[in-house]
Structure 1
Amino acid sequence: MRTVRTLAAVALALSAPLFGANPALAAPVPTASMIAASDDVTWTVRTASNELGEARTSFSYDIRPGATIEDAMVVANRGKTPLTLGVYAADGFTTDAGQMDLVTKDAESIAVGAWVQADQESITVKPGKTARIPFSVTIPENATPGDHAGGIITSLVQADDTETINVDRRLGIQIKLRVDGDLKPGFAIEDLNVGYRGTLNPAGQGDAEVSYTIRNTGNAILSGQGNTKITGPFGWFATDGPAQAIPGQLLPGETWKVSGTVEEVLPSGRLNAKVTLVPIITDAAGSSTTLAPVTASASAWALPWTLILLIVVLLAVVVGIVVVSRRNRARRKKLEDERVDAAVKEALAAR
């Protein structure tokens, strides 16, 4: 039985909202198109120029429930043979690497992938020619307000007899929808933990290990930046950690795990870690707005165990010296008393 292997649905960082094939097979180009290449098979995709815009890097719409928008994607065959590609839409998600990806064709799509319909399920493009793929975006009346992300994909499945598998090369463009209604962006910081790792140097500083989970609790796609501050008792000995970035597009309902190290933290007893997260929302025009910061705190013990052990050893040495000194004095006193008693007895015996 043949299995299907999908080669990388995303070839660009989140700052470039296109989807491509294997990074070794696809690379961003400044014309806002993407290229997929394999042996003699090469094709590109780009947005169509129309009344909705020209030279767009992605499809982005503000749309009300019940409305329909007509748009198109352009495919160009850069190879030397006719090219037949599958065409479909899919929902988006954020990968563990922090990039936007699209679910596979056999996965269920409930938003963008279900609302976007291409005029045809496949297309054949002659060598050196381009083809326009019209599609429609129809938003259900009961669609959830807020942001939804996905994409429209061209797909080429080829047999790889050397591995007895089918290889699926996908190349597509992101679609971002903002459905009219109350926009309620929000982040939450969950499962904040802090630990301390000291050094063998009694006078040295250690590292505070901080981890937490960011959850997009609203209905808007957000990015942001977090930072951590470590303080000792009464807010003393404050140490700032490095900035901690999150994905450029964290979808509603998604989570992102963050971990980091705050270095050169003084082991001053009870430490307090305060995480401040600044959410950032971007509108359809690309303008970003900073939202009110979200904070969370956690505490941990940070004790200089090497120094404490050294102090304990020194105290033990001091106590030992005192005890031995007292025993020596007691022994000398006893010997002196015995000498005096013997002298007295000897003097009395001589009378």
Structure 2
Amino acid sequence: MYAPVKRRKTTVTALLRTAALALLATSAVAGLATGPALAADGDVAWTVRTASNSFGAARSSFSYSANPGSRVEDAMVVANRGPVPLNLAVYAADGFTNAGGQLDLLAKDGKSVAVGAWVHAASGSVTIQPGKTAQVPFAVSVPDNATPGDYVGGIVTSLTQANDAANINVDRRLGIRIKLRVGGELKPSLAVEDLHVDYAGTSNPFAKGDATVSYKIHNTGNAALSAQQTASVSGPFGLLRVRAGDIAAPPELLPGESRTMTVPVHGVAPALRLAATVTLTPLLTDVSGSTTSLKPVEATAHGWALPWMLVLLLVVLIAIMVAVILYRRRSRLQRKTREDARVRNAVEQALRDQESPKS
């Protein structure tokens, strides 16, 4: 459901558009749970839900399988729960996964190229009297050249009201998700990219430390996918392996989307050279809601895990040993020099004694 969005009035259109997009990115798409979604603020309140027809009743969202060139017709039901008439704008928009891991929709002035461009409501607005409902028909026209795969968007009702006292425009959006699977060869695929491991030791040179495994999950296929994931860190030859704790599943990624993960691994021995291994098990959900596990994807990267305190101790020890060796060598050289001087002096004295005339 889209929360109220407040936009500052301004004569600068570009600034207004930028602010609107930034604020709308914090909203989520309505219709993810069973039952109608509600937008309410003071005297303004309305709900949206899917129509009951051959596609089913009490659907949580719109979901279709269609071939290129085909057309699907459906409807959304809007109910006015407030005491005043409502005039709502109606439009469709492409979906995307926002930074919070939730499905969001492009703003009305955003450029949609898939669901938002293929879904057309019977009217761009709907007027509903207090306590009444209205059915908003729409059609999904899949282009002949549409590529196979999953597409996600939504159909939205929107109400913009001016608040002169606060000098703002309040834009309330309420919509329902549309998931479309275009027929053809489905190629679900996830990749692990930019995998690397960092190590942080402790002041105790013999204690274990913590590793941080970071990577990007990239949906390189044409199907929306989530995943189960595991991560582990080991020393050379797979020894001293430590597994990360439970890792939360990433949000469902649409084709082409990616998400960066950072996973801590505790109790890792400073084994000089570490190997971080990440395994993803892609999860594919069909239009009926059934989930299938696909072939796991695995990637490995290496990093250094030097026990710096131990290295420092070794450096100090080696420096002491070198200093001792040099001192002993210098002492031996000094003793030899003194002994050579003593012998030389003794020889010279003996020669002088022989050359002296006897009394």
- Give the alignment's TM-score, normalised by structure 2: 0.83
Displacement after TM superposition at 1:319 (Å): 5.2
1:211-226 matches, within 5 Å, as: 211-226=214-229
Distance 1:321 1:135, change over 3 A: same
Q: Distance in 2 between matches of 1:120 and 1:338?
A: 115
Structure exhibiting the larger radius of gyration computed from Cα positions: 2
Distance 1:162 1:311 in 2: 72
Q: CA RMSD in A?
A: 2.9
Going from structure 1 to structure 2, the CA distance change for 1:237 and 1:188 (only over 3 Å counts) comes to: same
Partners of 1:228 and 1:243 within 8 A in 2: no
Aligned residue number for residue 181 of structure 1: 184
Residue aligning to 2:87:
84
Q: Secondary structure at the match of 1:19?
A: coil
Structure 1 CA distance, aligned partners of 2:337 and 2:117? Answer: 100
> Is the aligned partner of 1:141 residue 2:144?
yes
Offset from partner CA, 1:231-274 (integer Å, 9 cap, x none): 11111110112344454321111111112222221111111111
Moved more, 209-218 or 101-110: 209-218
**Partners of 1:97 and 1:157 in 2: CA distance:** 25
The alignment status of 1:128 with 2:131, answered yes or no, reads yes
CA drift of 1:190 comes to 1.4
For residues 135 and 25 of structure 2, what CA distance do their matches in structure 1 show?
A: 21
- In 2, the alpha carbon distance for the partners of 1:163 and 1:137 equals 40
Tell me the amino acid that sits aligned with residue 231 of structure 1. S
Q: Is the 8 A contact 1:66 1:138 kept in 2?
A: yes
Letter of the 1:266 partner, please give it. Answer: A
Contact 2:27 2:104 (8 Å CA) reproduced: no
Aligned to 2:276: 273
CA–CA distance in structure 2, aligned partners of residues 310 and 324 of structure 1: 21
Cα drift, residue 323 of structure 1: 6.2
In 2: Cα distance, 1:174 partner to 1:255 partner: 20
Which of 108, 115, 120 is the aligned partner of 2:118? 115
1:59-74 equivalences in 2 (<5 Å): 59-74=62-77
Equivalence for 1:191: 194
Q: Does 2:30 correspond to 1:19?
A: yes
Question: Within 1, Cα distance between the matches of 2:70 and 2:250?
Answer: 30
How many pairs were matched up? Answer: 334
State the one-letter code of the partner of 1:115: W
Partner AA of 2:242 in structure 1: T
* Correspondence 1:1-351 to 2 at 5 A: 1-2=10-11, 3=16, 5=20, 8=24, 18-19=29-30, 31-317=34-320, 320=323
Are the counterparts in 1 of residues 235 and 272 from structure 2 also a CA contact under 8 Å?
Answer: yes
How many angstroms does 1:128 deviate by?
A: 1.6
| Structure 1: distance between partners of 2:140 and 2:335 | 103
Q: Using the alignment, how far apart are the partners of 1:41 and 1:197 within structure 2?
A: 54
TM-score by length of 1: 0.85
| Alignment partners' CA distance in 2, 1:62 and 1:297 | 37
Change (3 A) 1:45 1:74: same
Measure the CA separation in 1 of the matches of 2:49 and 2:145. 31
Q: Which runs of 5+ in 1 are unaligned?
A: 13-17, 21-27, 340-344, 346-351
AA of the residue aligned to 2:64:
Y
Determine helix, strand or coil for the equivalent of 1:313. helix
Q: How far, CA to CA, are the matches of 1:297 and 1:140 in structure 2?
A: 41
Measured after TM superposition, the shift of residue 314 of structure 1 is 3.3
Contact 2:24 2:107 in 1 (8 A): no
The C-alpha deviation readout for 1:56-107, integer Å capped at 9, x for no partner, is 0000011112221111111111111111110001111111111110001111
